[in-house]
Structure 1
Amino acid sequence: MTKDTLKQMSRRERQIIEILFQLGSGSVADVQAHLDQAPSYSSVRALLNRMVEKKQVAYQRQGNKYVYSPITEREEAAQTALKKLINTFFNGSPGAAVAALLGAEKDAISAQQMDEIQAKIDAIKNNNK
Structure 2
Amino acid sequence: MAISEAEAVIMEVLWGRSPRSAEEILAEVGEQQNWQEGTVKSLLNRLLTKKAVKAERDGRRYLYSPKLTREQYISQESKGLLDRLFEGRVAPLVAHFSEQRKLSKRDIAELRTLLRKLDDDQS
- When normalised by structure 1's length, the TM-score is 0.65
Which of 91, 94, 102 does residue 90 from structure 2 map onto? 94
Secondary structure at the counterpart of residue 60 of structure 1: strand
Tell me the equivalent position of 2:11.
17
Q: For this pair of structures, how many residues does the alignment match?
A: 119
Which of 19, 27, 34 does residue 29 from structure 2 map onto? 34
Structure 2 residue 62 is matched with structure 1 residue 69 = no
CA distance in 2, matches of 1:11, 1:101: 21
Identity of aligned residues (%): 27
Secondary structure at the counterpart of residue 14 of structure 1: helix
Q: What stretches of structure 2 of length at least 5 have no aligned partner?
A: none
Q: What stretches of structure 1 of length at least 5 have no aligned partner?
A: 1-5
Query: Highest relative contact order (Cα 8 Å, sep 6+), 1 or 2?
Result: 1
CA distance in 2, matches of 1:28, 1:105: 41
CA distance in 2, matches of 1:110, 1:23: 34
Tell me the equivalent position of 2:52.
56
1:46–1:99 distance in 2 versus 1, CA, 3 Å:
same
CA deviation after TM superposition for structure 1 residue 49, in Å: 2.3
Root-mean-square deviation (Å): 3.1
Tell me the equivalent position of 2:107.
109
